[in-house]
Each structure stands twice: as structure tokens, then as C-alpha cells.
């Protein structure tokens, strides 16, 4: 098999852990697999480099910032290749520009545009383990870019797609994808399998186990992904195409997100183009609006409520207050103490009543729902932040997630 493996920052946090990774890779080689190994920077290194730059100026030039932080993955890739060779396994470290992995020029959050995997194939055909520095890319002009947080996941899946690999294994510091955050729900269960769509909804709803762009890529290119722990031999969670068995599962997981904040704009006059005037300036600043609810009022005006990332709340409120003055809205309010709780499951497509059961469960525990949004396979509710744990536990139990699928469904 041709396998692309990715090891995160904790997995390569020091030389001893890099040695463990090398031994694990070596065992795969002994079994005859061809391996491309993508590595992150050693835990803490990216933050150390970023803080050096931010000590100089709050606004370092993005091109040079990328050149700076890309050294983190370069160090790990070199050290892992050195370790593999020292163990007697031919290996070759690759930086993004040596493959190359071409991206656009949006420094600090570049997107992969093309991968030419010939050099990797040559290394594999020579029997070498190809060790690749994750997180980084190169523009057509030869500048170094980085893919943003979680970028090494994206590197791994993109390489797996380009190489038509049989499997992409994401080694991390958790055992896989759980029905809920095990720190909150002690009876949370590791999922054996989950569909791309469900994983995408889980990731966008706040589950941090896998970068959302990596899931998107895996879905588009149908790359089977195995999320598993670096520190154990236990199998993790396979992310793959939906199959019949999955469809029978009503709800696969409960997740939450405490990184959003709410802005409410009351008494918006009913006039054409008002939504564009409100959300235009916010979008221009690159602030992502997640949920939006508009409620009509008897007086013909409307109330508008939406959520933004908590870190951008202050800026967003400033922009909205300006627009509110211009259009003659009544007032602007904002709140940081909110949380978004979501249930995700492929089975929702064919089973009615899932949303109703969620609302009923929250109500039974005295939790008020401030906002609701739904997709085909997800229902999200914004609630008071202090109820987060209670809501997650209650939903986990209500949907029988602590019992293995055979029993319940």
C-alpha cells in the first residue's frame, strides 16, 4: 500500500518522540508499505517563532512571516529523516518548494493549487521514505507560503490525493473522532467510521481533531483518512464515503464551539439592500459570519442576530454600529457568553424528528435556545455558554451515543 502519514506537533515534540515516530514508520516499511510522512513543527515552535515576529511589530510582513515560521516544519522534517537513516531506513526530507507544492500567494493562509508528485514518486521507487515538511507551500514566484493553522493535515490529504495513495493516516494526540469531547462526556465513544460529510459538519461545528480544509479535500478526492493516536496502537476513526450502515445511524456525534460571539441589531428598517449594507463591511474585513437569524416585527422593522468569531467581536461591533447609525436602526447589542451546540448525523437525511428531539432535550434541562441553524445532516443551537457541558451531556445521552451502534440502532 501507498500510505501518507501525518504526525502533529505533539507527536514530534522532542527527539525521543521523533524517535518513536521513526520506529513506527519503520514498522510500516518492514510490512512493505510505501510511505510519505508529513510532519508539523515541534510543539510550541510555531508559537515561539510567531511571538519573535510580533515582538518586533504587531503587524509583521506576511511574506517574511511565512518564511520565518516555515522553518519549524523544516527542522522536524530534517530531524525525522536523519533519525530514519540512523535506524537504517533510507529516507529523504522534502520542503514544499522541492516537490513542489504550489499555492496561491495569500501568505499565512495560502491554498494549495497544484502538486507535482514526480520527485516523491522517484524517492518511493528508490525505496526511500519521503519525509515532507507540512504546513508550507510555494508560490509560482518561488516565495514560501504557509497554509494556516492545521495546515499540515491539508498537506497530508493533498499529497495523498496527488499520489492517489491508498490511505492517509493522521496521527495525533487523541485516539480518534468521538461521539463527544471526552473531557466533557466521560461516556463518549470513539467512532469506528464516519462519513466525510459528517466529519465536515463536526469540524465546522467546533470539533478540533482534523482541519476542515483537509476534510473538504479528502471528500473531493475520495481519500480515505484514518485519524488515530501516535501514542497507542489502537485503531482510530476511519473517515470515508457514506455507506448503508452509516445511514442507519441517526446521530454520530455532539459537538460544541465556544469561540463565537453574538451581535444583535434591533429595529432594522425594511428597505432593499439593507443586508448587504450590514454584512458588506464585515465581509470586507475578512470576518466570517456563521449563523444569521432575522425576525420580522409587527411595526415592519426587523431584528437581526448573527454570530462572528469571538476574537473579531470588537471590530465587528464597531462596523455594525456605524451602519446602524446610517440606516437608522434602533440599537446594537452583543454577547460573548454564548456557545454553539451541534448534533451531526448522516441518518438525519432520512429520519425526521431529530431536531425536535434536540430542542425537547434542551428544554427539559431548562436550557433556552437563542438561535438555531440546520443543514441536511446537522442541527446547531446557540445557548448560554454556562450550559455548554450540561447540553452536550444531555444530548449525548438522549441520542444514545454512549451505547455502541449495534445495541441502539
Between the alpha carbon of residue 19 and those of residues 26, 42, 86, 87, 91, the distances in Å are 10, 13, 10, 9, 14
Write the DSSP string, 4-64: EEEE-TTTTSSHHHHHHHHHHHHHHHHTT-EEEEEE-PPTTHHHHHHHHHHHH-SS--HHH
- Within 33-72, the residues that bind a copy of itself by CB under 8 A are 49, 52-53, 55-57, 59-61, 63-65, 67-68, 70-71
> Is 125 among the residues that bind a copy of itself (CB under 8 A)?
no
All cell numbers assigned to 159:
499529497
**Residue 164 annotated in ligand binding:** no
Q: Which of 98, 229, 259, 374 binds a copy of itself (CB under 8 A)?
A: 98
**Residue 230 annotated in ligand binding:** no
Burial of 208 from C-beta contacts in 10 A (0-12 / 13-18 / 19+): middle
Phi, psi of 220 (to 5 degrees): -60, -45
Q: Which three-class secondary structure state does DSSP give residue 350?
A: coil
**Residue 178 annotated in ligand binding:** yes
Phi, psi of 24 (to 5 degrees): -65, -45
Please name which of 17, 344, 379 lies closest in space to residue 177, comparing C-alpha atoms. 344
**Residue 386 annotated in ligand binding:** no
> Is 374 among the residues that bind a copy of itself (CB under 8 A)?
no
Q: Which of 2, 43, 50, 82 binds a copy of itself (CB under 8 A)?
A: 82
- Within 132-151, the residues that bind a copy of itself by CB under 8 A are 142-144
Q: Is 189 left (phi over 0), alpha (psi -120 to 50) or beta?
A: beta
> Is 267 among the residues that bind a copy of itself (CB under 8 A)?
no
**Residue 361 annotated in ligand binding:** no
Please name which of 226, 2, 42, 231 lies closest in space to residue 129, comparing C-alpha atoms. 2
Shortest reach from residue 361's CB to a copy of itself, in Å: 51
- Cα(49)–Cα(193) distance, integer angstroms: 37
Shortest reach from residue 67's CB to a copy of itself, in Å: 4
- Cα(366)–Cα(45) distance, integer angstroms: 44
Between the alpha carbon of residue 102 and those of residues 117, 129, 159, 183, 383, the distances in Å are 11, 22, 12, 39, 42
Between the alpha carbon of residue 382 and those of residues 315, 337, 385, 386, the distances in Å are 21, 10, 9, 12
Part in contact with a copy of itself (CB under 8 A); list of ranges 14-22, 253-261, 264-272, 399-407: 14-22
> Is 95 among the residues that bind a copy of itself (CB under 8 A)?
yes
Cβ proximity to a copy of itself: between 99 and 401 the closer is 99
**Residue 183 annotated in ligand binding:** yes
> Is 121 among the residues that bind a copy of itself (CB under 8 A)?
no
Kindly state the number of chain residues that form the binding site for a copy of itself, as judged by CB under 8 A: 37
Part in contact with a copy of itself (CB under 8 A); list of ranges 75-83, 176-184, 245-253, 296-304: 75-83
> Is 105 among the residues that bind a copy of itself (CB under 8 A)?
no
> Is 118 among the residues that bind a copy of itself (CB under 8 A)?
no
Annotated binding site for substrate: 46, 73
Annotated binding site for ATP: 6-9, 172-173, 178, 183, 208-209
Residues in contact with a copy of itself by CB under 8 A are 15, 18-19, 49, 52-53, 55-57, 59-61, 63-65, 67-68, 70-71, 74-75, 77-79, 81-83, 85-86, 92-93, 95, 97-98, 142-144
Annotated binding site: 6-9, 46, 73, 172-173, 178, 183, 208-209
Amino acid at each position: 500500500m501507498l500510505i501518507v502519514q501525518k504526525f502533529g506537533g505533539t507527536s514530534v515534540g522532542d527527539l525521543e518522540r521523533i524517535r518513536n515516530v521513526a520506529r513506527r514508520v519503520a514498522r510500516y516499511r518492514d510490512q512493505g508499505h510505501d510511505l510519505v510522512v508529513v510532519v508539523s513543527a515541534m510543539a510550541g515552535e510555531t508559537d515561539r517563532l510567531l511571538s519573535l515576529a510580533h515582538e518586533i511589530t504587531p503587524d509583521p510582513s506576511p511574506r517574511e512571516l511565512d518564511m520565518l515560521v516555515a522553518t519549524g516544519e523544516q527542522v522536524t522534517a530534517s530531524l525525522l529523516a536523519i533519525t530514519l537513516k540512523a535506524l537504517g531506513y533510507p529516507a529523504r526530507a522534502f520542503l514544499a518548494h522541492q516537490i513542489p507544492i504550489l499555492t496561491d500567494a495569500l501568505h499565512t493562509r495560502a491554498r494549495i493549487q497544484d502538486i507535482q508528485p514526480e520527485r516523491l514518486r522517484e524517492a518511493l521507487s528508490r525505496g526511500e521514505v519521503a519525509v515532507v515538511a507540512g504546513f508550507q507551500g510555494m508560490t509560482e514566484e518561488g516565495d514560501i507560503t504557509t497554509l494556516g493553522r492545521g495546515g499540515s493535515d491539508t498537506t497530508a490529504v493533498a499529497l495523498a490525493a496527488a499520489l492517489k495513495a491508498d490511505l492517509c493516516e493522521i496521527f495525533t494526540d487523541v485516539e480518534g473522532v468521538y461521539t463527544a469531547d471526552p473531557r466533557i462526556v466521560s461516556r463518549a465513544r470513539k467512532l469506528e467510521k464516519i462519513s466525510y460529510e459528517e466529519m465536515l459538519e463536526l469540524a465546522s461545528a467546533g470539533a478540533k481533531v482534523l482541519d476542515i480544509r483537509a476534510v473538504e479535500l479528502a471528500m473531493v478526492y475520495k481519500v480515505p483518512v484514518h485519524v488515530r493516536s501516535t501514542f497507542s496502537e489502537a485503531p482510530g476513526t476511519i473517515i470515508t464515503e457514506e455507506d448503508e450502515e452509516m445511514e442507519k445511524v441517526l446521530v454520530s456525534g455532539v459537538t460544541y464551539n465556544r469561540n463565537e460571539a453574538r451581535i444583535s441589531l434591533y429595529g432594522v428598517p425594511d428597505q432593499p439592500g439593507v443586508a448587504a449594507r450590514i454584512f458588506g463591511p464585515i465581509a470586507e474585513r475578512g470576518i466570517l459570519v456563521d449563523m444569521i437569524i432575522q425576525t420580522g416585527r409587527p411595526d415592519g422593522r426587523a431584528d437581526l442576530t448573527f454570530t462572528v468569531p469571538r476574537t473579531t467581536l470588537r471590530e465587528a461591533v464597531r462596523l455594525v454600529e456605524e451602519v446602524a447609525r446610517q440606516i437608522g436602526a434602533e440599537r446594537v447589542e452583543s454577547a460573548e457568553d454564548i456557545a454553539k451546540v451541534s448534533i451531526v448525523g448522516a441518518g438525519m437525511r432520512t429520519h425526521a424528528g431529530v431536531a425536535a428531539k434536540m430542542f425537547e432535550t434542551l428544554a427539559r434541562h431548562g436550557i433556552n435556545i437563542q438561535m438555531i441553524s440546520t443543514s441536511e445532516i446537522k442541527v446547531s443551537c446557540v445557548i448560554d455558554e454556562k450550559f455548554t457541558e450540561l447540553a452536550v451531556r444531555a444530548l449525548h445521552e438522549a441520542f444514545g451515543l454512549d451505547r455502541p451502534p449495534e445495541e441502539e440502532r
